[in-house]
Every structure is written in C-alpha cells, then in structure tokens.
Amino acid sequence: MIDLLHHVGIVVNDADRALSFYRDVVGLPVVADSVLDDQGVRAILLAVGENELEILSPTRSDTGVARFLESRGETLHHLCFRTDDIAREIARLDEAGVELVDREPREGLAGRVAFLHPRAMRGVLVELAEPPPGGEERDQKGFDHLSVRTRDLDEAALLWREVLGLGVARRVEVEEAGMVVGQVPVGRCRIDLVAPSRPDAPYALELERLGEGAEPRVALEVEDLAGEAARLRAAGVALDDAAQAATPGARVAAIPAERAFGVAVELTAYDRPGPGTEG
C-alpha cells in the first residue's frame, strides 16, 4: 500500500551548493548523504516534516541523471511514494500492464526502490520506495502541496487511483486562470492535478507550451509569511512579493526556480486551515 509522499527528487550540478541553500538557508536537516557508485550519483536526503527532499548530483557523465541534467538542466526529477511492500506493488503494476523501468527492486538511498516509466504517469517520473525497517517516523506536516499538469482531470484522476491507489478528495475551480484542480491527499501533503477548464483558457496555452508532467515547484506552509520572507531576505534570498495564491484562502511568496536550483519554493500561508487533505 502507498501511504506517503516519501520524497521529491531534484537534480543539480553541484550538490554542496544546493546543500548550502536547502540546509543552511531554508533550514532542512540532513537525513542521509551518500555516493551511490553503481548509479554514478551523490544523493542527499533532507527532512521536510513527514517528507524528504532528495538532492541528486552526477559523479560521472555516463548515467541517466547526468544525461537528464545535460538535457533539462537543474530541475525537479521525480516524485517518490512510500510503500510497505515494493515487490508486491511491482508485481501488481506489471500484471496490470503499467510500463516500468525496474521490474525488480534495487537498493537506493531511500531503501528498496523501483521506478515507473514517465509514460505510465503522463510525464511524471514516479519512484516507489520501501524504507528499511526501524527508520525514523516524523509526524509533522512536510510539503503542503505539489502540482502536476494534465490535459484531462478525470482521466488523470482515474490513472492516479488505478496506478498508485490515490484518489481525488476535492475539486477546485480557479475561474480567472481557466483551470480546475483535483486535490489528491497523500499523508499530510497533497498532489494537485491541474487541468484546463476550457480550451481557450490561459492555463490551456501554458499546458500546450510545457506539456504534461510535474511542475518544478514545491509548497511549504508557514504560519507567519511576512516573518519567514523577512528571514530569508536577511539571508540574501530574493523572493517574489507575497500575492494571492490560486488556491482559495491562501497567500504565497515564492523563491523563483532560478534562485533555488531549478525548483521554485513557495511559502504558503492560509487564511483558514489548509484545504481538504483529510478527505
């Protein structure tokens, strides 16, 4: 069973520079830091409440991560979901005809891991991980939400339920942007499946330009948006000014992707409790 967003993986040129930002400035503690020789990467896991952020940097040029970095630059790489039985999940997906990268689990920094092909999830590279027994459990809220672009919300919702067992708990219309959002809770985080609400909507044009896939941004909920923004600016981080978020009842101040190693970091504050991640 999949019960948690384990981590979000990003690919960077220089792991130490990314670490100095996410650990020393943003304030995320390091969980693990290792060179995986068989994969040709240095991988670092940082705690984000119940979730983690994984920094990946190639240690040689003949690897998939190195090729990804060369073709796409620093950006979000994959979403990883926790399972209690990865062998059973792989067997189930293989039997259902889901396209897999790994038909057998292999060892990774997060435990026993396996990847689904991005074609299986409409442009989203998904990793499954079965962490080793006895690992630390953290029950604090981590990521507030992540976003996935999709052309058809109903089709995407069915796919996420059939492949990952995760269902849409709430639909939100954002009329001014011409988008509809399906909120998929997983642990205390949610995945927003975002689709155009009409063919001529501004979001439809953005989707046509970018294609389907995971948005290179993560959102963190903060209680004091002004205070946290001031702390980061004092540390030399340039943030966009706070503005109303697409999610009703929320304001956001973002560190743009080009200043955060290819992944925008949104600081989100709600005027009310965070929206429907409990179902």
pLDDT digits (tens, 9 = 90+) for 112-124: 999 999 999 999 9
Report the alpha-carbon distance of residue 221 to residue 41 in Å, rounded: 30
Tokens 């058809």: give the residue.
152
DSSP state string for 165-194:
-----EEEEEGGGTEEEEEEEETTEEEEEE
State how far the alpha carbon of 117 is from the alpha carbons of 39, 131, 194, 276, in Å: 17, 21, 21, 30
Those residues of the chain that have pLDDT short of 50 are 274, 276-279
Report the alpha-carbon distance of residue 194 to residue 182 in Å, rounded: 6
Which residues contact residue 209 at a Cβ distance below 8 angstroms, ignoring those fewer than 6 apart?
A: none
| Closest to 214 (Cα-Cα) out of 90, 101, 121 | 121
Q: Tens digits of per-residue pLDDT, 52-111? A: 999 999 999 999 999 999 999 999 999 999 999 999 999 999 999 999 999 999 999 999
Q: What amino acid occupies position 176? A: E
pLDDT of residue 277: 46
pLDDT of residue 176: 85
pLDDT of residue 279: 38
Instruction: Determine how many CB atoms are found less than 10 A away from the CB of residue 99.
Output: 12
Handedness of CA 2, 50, 34, 264 (dihedral sign): positive
Report the alpha-carbon distance of residue 96 to residue 84 in Å, rounded: 19
Question: How many CA atoms are closer than 13 Å to the CA of 83, on its beta-carbon side?
Answer: 24
Contact 181, 171 (CB under 8 A): yes
| Percent of the chain topping pLDDT 90 | 89
Query: Which residues are bridge partners to 7 per DSSP?
Result: 52, 80
